[in-house]
Structure formats: structure tokens, C-alpha cells
Amino acid sequence: MKTLQKLRENSQQWEKYWRREEVIETIRRFFKDNGFHEVEVPLLLPTVSTEPFLEVFRTELTNDQGKKWPAFLPSSPEFALKKLLSAGSGSIFTITKSFRNGEGRSSRHNPEFTILEWYTTPGDYWTVAGQFEQLMLQINRGKDKLRYQGKEYSLKTPWQRLSVAEAFTKYAGVEVESMLDEAKLKEIGKQKGYLVTAKTTWEEIWNQIFANEIEPKLGQTGPTILYDYPTAQAALAKKAKDPRFAERWELYLAGMELGNCFSELTDYREQETRCKADLAERKKLGKTEYPMDREFIEALKLGMPPTGGIAVGVDRLVALFTDVLAVSETLFFPVEELFDKRNTI
């Protein structure tokens, strides 16, 4: 049954959508009360951020003279926000749409999704963690208990903080030296029964161990902040004290990955190197190609203040607070209802 029909037949169905409205309103109020400015970012861009594994939507901008420009829909508002930070905006946030193409069926993804990003300056990833803790309590109407899919979770602060290195040792029995070493990790992967071939990369086996053995253990009674990722897993984050790691954390709760936070990389040379490497990787993977965003690098060159920043999937957050399993249930027009599977080209 389509969402519209459900809404027509059962007025109780509206409740979760009005809760969605409330969640978004609370987010807005929280940041405005805490001295942030809300900004808008473009959704039609000549080039977009360089994550090698994300596929983008490509279109064309045309004018009345028949001139054409390649144009893209962004997979996150990150570059635009960082340009504003470099220009001196101070702490900012946006609630906007972002797009990811070429993804498979999943209850946790919609190709068009609502994303919250906030950047706090001066600050780092721990400043953001404290803000996220307060924000979640406020969305939960000040209560620290949350029921989701029949299970109770505690949002009581401070949330559990667990480093990636600790998590690998604790849940997968992999010591940090082996975790960071491609040959050793592949050998361990093989022993654990994962398919490891000559083509298997460190990133693949790292993520497979993570997905099978570690992630199911995170955020089971309350939020888990999993922090300090191997540098290869954090293209836009500042290096941590231990230079093998970068200052990145992800928030896990109730089987969901809710946010991805960095102490933002502000060194333009390092950023340029990583963007180039990402674009080369995109080419290798056969993903849509586009030029590097020079304006972004130039902005960093002029100086970006020390900043902690985070991306949060608003649709997942709403799913959590409306107690539904799939993000499509929080949308009036989920993609599978808009695009009939019989109408493929």
C-alpha cells in the first residue's frame, strides 16, 4: 500500500510525520540557541566532493544560447560549508538534501536524503560529541530513556566512548599492529573464514571484520562513540596524536550509524593531496569523473579555523525517534514508490 493511501485510510499514520517535523524543528532551535547560524547551500554544482566510493547524480545546466555545463547533485554539503567557514562565518549548520546514486536496496538509505551538518569553531571532534549528546536529549523531549523496536536504550551522558583500536581487540581479537597491516589483516581474515583473494584490499577486509564482528556489538544499550579511525578511513579528518589514526568518530545506536564526525582537516596541501588521490581512485573504480573543487582548496589556503564538524542522517534519526525500522517509513514519498521497478530504461 502506498504511503498516501495509508495516510488517507488511517489518520494515526500522520503522527510519525508530525514527529519528523518536531525533530527537525528541535534541531533548528538547538543550534540557534547555541549561537550557530543556519546557512543554505547549493544543490546544483559544477563539481562535488571527492569520496571515491560514492556515486553522484550527473545532469546538465543549459542556457538559452544552447551552452551547456556539466552539473552534479552533491553527496554532502561539506565543501560549501567549509568554504563559508574559511570566509569567516563562525559556527554554522544546515539541514539540506543530499544525493547518492548507484546504491542497492536498503532500509537505511534513500537516494535523496535529508542531512544535518554542523561545524563548531573553535572546536574539535570532542566539542561536537558534547553537542550531539545534548541535541539527542533535547530531541527525546528531555528524557534519557528511549524505546526503539521493543528495546530500551539510555541516552544518559556521557555516552560510551570506544576507540577503533580497542574495539578491534575487544570484539574481533585483532591487535592494533595487525589491524593496520594489510598482509597481517588479510591473513587474519583468511583464518576467520572470510574470502580473501589477491584482489582483496585492506579496506575491504577491515570493513568486513568490522561489519561482522564489531558493529553488531556497538550501541546496544545506549549510544557508542567509536573514535580514532585509521587515517586511510578518514580522508577529511585531522591526524590524531598517534599519527596512524585520524580524529574521526562515528555514532552507533540501535544498529544504526547515525553520524560521522571529524576534527576537520584544515591544511590545504594535505587536503589537495587527498582530493587528488580520491579522484584517481574514482577513476580506477569507474565512478563518474569531475574536476577537483579548486575553490575549496583556495578557501582552505586562506585559512580555515580549527573546526569540529559532523554529518548526521536526519531520516535515520527520525526513524529512531518514531520507532520505525525503515527510513522509507519516515518519508511521504519514498523512492520505491516514486520509481516503479517496471519502468526502468
Partner 1 sequence: MTQIKANQLKRDMFVLYKNAPHMVLKCEFYFPGKGSAFARTRLKNVKTGNVYDYTYKSSESVEVVEVETTELQYLYQDGTTYHFMNPQTFEQHEVAEWVFDGKEKFLLPEAKMFFHSYEGEIIGVRFPPKVTVKVIEAASAVAGNSVNAPKKTVKIENGVEVLVPLFVKQGETIIVDTTTGEYVSRA
C-alpha cell at 50: 571527492
**Residue 142 has which C-alpha cell?**
528531555
The cell for 79 is 565543501
Residues in touch with partner 1 (CB under 8 A)? 9-12, 51, 53, 103-109, 193, 195, 200-201, 203-204, 206-208, 210-212, 216, 233-235, 250, 257, 260
12 versus 63: smaller Cβ distance to partner 1: 12
Residue type, 86: S
Contact at 8 Å (CB) between 283 and 298? no
Residue 106 Cβ, how far from partner 1 at the closest point, in Å? 4
How far is residue 119 from each of residues 78, 132, 137, 288, 310, measured CA to CA in Å?
Answer: 9, 12, 19, 28, 7
Please check whether residue 129 is in contact with residue 249, taking contact to mean a CB–CB distance below 8 angstroms. yes
Query: Which residue number, 84 or 185, has a Cβ lying nearer to partner 1?
Result: 185
Place of cell 587515517: 231
Task: Give the shortest CB-321-to-partner 1 separation in angstroms.
Answer: 20
**Closest distance to partner 1 from the beta carbon of 283 (Å):** 15
**Of 195 and 302, CB closest to partner 1:** 195
Which backbone phi and psi does 73 adopt, to 5 degrees?
-95, 135
Q: Smallest distance from the beta carbon of 33 to partner 1, in angstroms? A: 29
Cβ closest to partner 1, residue 107 vs residue 154? 107
Q: How far is the CB of 236 from partner 1 (least distance, A)?
A: 9
**What span, in angstroms and rounded, lies between the C-alpha atoms of 178 and 218?**
21
C-alpha closest to that of 235 among 258, 201, 213, 203: 203
Considering the complex, state which of residue 80 and residue 209 has its C-beta at the smaller distance from partner 1: 209
Residue number with CB closer to partner 1 (91 or 248) = 248
Q: Which is nearer to partner 1, 36 or 206 (CB)?
A: 206
Q: Which is it for the CA torsion 196, 194, 252, 23, positive or negative?
A: positive
- Residue 245's contacts (CB-CB under 8 Å, 6 or more residues apart) are 164, 165, 228, 229, 230, 231, 239
Min CB(109)–partner 1 separation in Å: 7
**Residue 152: half-sphere exposure toward Cβ, Cα within 13 Å:** 5
CB of 63 vs partner 1, minimal distance in Å: 36
Rounded Cα distance, 96 and 293, in Å: 20
Cis before 230 (ω within 30): no
280: part of which helix (H) or strand (E)?
helix 268-285
Strand partners, 93: 38, 118
Nearer to partner 1, 45 or 246 (CB): 246
Q: Could you tell me the smallest distance in angstroms from the CB atom of residue 263 to partner 1?
A: 15
The DSSP bridge partners found for residue 259 are 251, 312
302's CB contacts (< 8 A; 6+ apart) are: 86, 87
CB of 302 to partner 1, least distance (A): 26
Q: Judged by CB, which is closer to partner 1: 41, or 311?
A: 311
